[in-house]
Amino acid sequence: MIVVTAASGALGRLVVERLRPSAAVTAVVRDPARAPEGVPVRYGDYDDPASLRAAFDGATRLLLISSPELDPRRRIAQHLAAVTAAAEAGVGAVAYTSFLGAGTSAAGMLEAHHATERAVRASGVPFTLLRNPFYGDAFVPVVTGGELLASTGGRGLNTAFRSDLAEAAASVLTGDGHLGQAYDLAGPLWTHPEVAEALGVPYREVPGPEGPMGWINAQVRAGALEQRSADLEKVLGRPAETMISRVLVGRAT
């Protein structure tokens, strides 16, 4: 039995959808009313360790999807509770959705992922680390007034789409040869000027927004999202979807 945590979220639902036709999959959710349809459902709350032990019982493989909690201290506590519960429940193997860079850095948003990776490695449970990038779904460029506007300095983004990352997770959960591996699932590198050229529209740099997206744009301008890796293509067994192909398909429809 494969157990998927946070199965009511966008990524969790996609993973369950891909596993359901060919594997015995159980969805673990905090709110059963929001659970995916067509699969067994168990209650599991990252803030309730006892519920996690019960939810993970009998799992041959577990997908531990990271908590959406923003406070790193609380997020770490939630993840460590889940890792401990997996070990206590005798889970056969765990795959954890980490983030690119968490293997070597504990700075900023990587703090919780770095701590969780260390806990997973120390748990004694066979594991696979899935280091995801930012989701490309949130970065699809939109033409405004006949122009493509951005504040990324023309630098590259290694985003990947949830659909590909969900398929990669499902492949790891059902396939062999992944235990003990840490995959850097960077997507195909793309830039806003390249997308503008593909669309046949001008590209113009504009001042960046404030808030989280402004911070991300600053990271892009600094080249922090230009890490490359062939791991996503390797796990998928095919090329990952590119941003240009997604934009062109969107324009055609």
pLDDT digits (tens, 9 = 90+) for 123-165: 999 999 999 999 999 999 999 999 999 999 999 999 999 999 9
| SS3 label, residue 106 | coil
- Mean pLDDT for the stretch of residues 197-226: 93
DSSP 1: -
Identify whether the C-beta of residue 61 lies closer than 8 Å to the C-beta of residue 26.
Answer: no
Name the β-bridge partners of 131: 98, 184
Q: Which two tokens stand for residue 209?
A: 């927004």
* Strand 25-29, strand 2-4: pairing: parallel
Domain with CATH 3.40.50.720 in the chain: 1-132
pLDDT band for 208, please (50, 70, 90 cuts): confident
Q: What is the spatial distance between Cα 163 and Cα 99, in angstroms, rounded to a whole number?
A: 16
Domain with CATH 3.90.25.10 in the chain: 134-161+186-227+238-253
CATH topology of domain 134-161+186-227+238-253: UDP-galactose 4-epimerase; domain 1 (3.90.25)
Q: Which two tokens stand for residue 169?
A: 């997770």
What are 47-102's pLDDT values in tens digits?
A: 999 999 999 999 999 999 999 998 999 999 999 999 999 999 999 999 999 999 99
Q: What is the spatial distance between Cα 178 and Cα 153, in angstroms, rounded to a whole number?
A: 37
**Mean pLDDT across the chain:** 96
Q: What is the spatial distance between Cα 108 and Cα 114, in angstroms, rounded to a whole number?
A: 10
Percent of the chain at pLDDT exceeding 70: 99
Whole-number pLDDT of residue 196: 97
Token pair 């790891």: residue:
172
Whole-number pLDDT of residue 209: 83
| SS3 label, residue 52 | helix
pLDDT band for 253, please (50, 70, 90 cuts): low
Q: What is the spatial distance between Cα 241 and Cα 160, in angstroms, rounded to a whole number?
A: 8
| Alpha carbon separation from 81 to 26, 55, 59, 245 (Å, rounded) | 19, 13, 17, 40
Q: 180: exposed, middle or buried (C-beta count within 10 Å: 0-12, 13-18, 19+)? A: exposed
- Mean pLDDT for the stretch of residues 191-207: 96
Whole-number pLDDT of residue 74: 97
Superfamily of domain 1-132: NAD(P)-binding Rossmann-like Domain (3.40.50.720)
- Mean pLDDT for the stretch of residues 197-210: 93
